Amino acid sequence: MSFDIPLANPDLKGNEAKYALEAIQSGWIGTGPFIKQFEKEFSRLSGARAAIACANGTVALHLALRAMDLGPGDEVIVPSFTYVATANAVRLCGAEPVFVDVEPATWCIDPLQVEQAITPRTKGILPVDLFGHPADLDAINRLAAIYGLWVVEDAAEAALARYKGKPVGGLAQVTTFSFHITKVFTSGEGGAVTMNDEKIEAFIRMIYSHGMDPQRRFFFPVSGYNYRLTNVAAGLLCAQIERHEQFLQRRADIFRRYQELLQGTPGIGIRPVAPWATLSPWLFSITVDPKKFGHTREQLMDRLAQHKIESRPFFIPVHGLPPFRESSQQRNTQCPVTDRLCSAGVNLPTYTTMTDDQVARVAGVIKGMVR
């Protein structure tokens, strides 16, 4: 089905075409100067010592977990309310994700449940900045220090979010980002890893390029991967970063407009935001209470689709998905907040070129369904 108002739509009206053509005409379509330019600028904006551009957000997670020496027999504590890539990256290392619930006030991992899930096999904590909202990093880092664990932050949906006034990217040992087509900044696919530790940076730079020693060509001291980003894609990201303030401002305006229009609608809940958090305005999120709204989440999405408006349900709780169900049942994993949110949530269209009239049209369809 084609939509008049899609869920996401990349804004490529800046220097994207210019930089992509420049990369092509120079012949530097694989490695090239745009990669270093993007890494320098993104590390600065993320408050981190260094950034490494890579092929997508999933491989960014894999690189980060490899840098933490995660392996078979290890456990990592992960929120069940996340995209499956978070848990898949743990499995790629031969380790096991241990799922816990999220906090109702943030929709991010619950530090109290993290502490209860720690075992002798636990090696680290993998908080997720869900839908652009930072997890409570102070509480998580405090637990990690007490129990001798590391923290890798999955900020795939949270580029340029802020936690207590500080940019996301330099607050955990390693942070990972995605630049998928739906994200605030995009190169179609793409990702980044940020960190403050020089040794971690050196290790990731080695394994993301086949494991080759940077000082000795074609000598491979470790097994690695080909997880590099292309210079063409990096050129797109450089052009996107040039307009990052414009992007964030327009998306924040769309969020405010949605909130003004939908606030007080019976049965429609709006995503909570902690007072210490500044969202990365990715997708505007609502929940549906069928008893108060008079319709189910699915009926709402069907009605939007009838009006040529695309929407998306929240993720299915990962602890209940087939690859993870058996181990979660053996642990008696209980995530009632996640179960409730995931059965009720809808992401609404959000993109930089979306007009105020389009936002009003989406909200109008929703409000028009109230009985």
- Which residues does the annotation mark as catalytic? 183
d(CA 182, CA 156): 11
DSSP annotation string for 278-333: E----SEEEEE-HHHHSS-HHHHHHHHHHTTB--EEPPPPGGGSHHHHHHHHHTT-
Nearest Cα to Cα of residue 185 among 207, 156, 163: 156
d(CA 228, CA 53): 7
d(CA 186, CA 179): 4
In the Cβ-directed half-sphere of 74, how many Cα atoms lie within 13 Å? 22
d(CA 299, CA 292): 14
Task: Quote the Cα angle for 322-323-326, to 5°.
Answer: 75
- Joined together, the tokens standing for residue 243 give 């307009």
DSSP annotation string for 92-107: HTT-EEEEE-B-TTTS
d(CA 149, CA 127): 13
**b/e sequence 325-336, b meaning 16+ C-beta within 10 Å:** eeebeeeebebe
SS3 state of residue 75: strand
Task: Quote the Cα angle for 135-86-282, to 5°.
Answer: 55
d(CA 250, CA 176): 24
- Joined together, the tokens standing for residue 113 give 């449940």
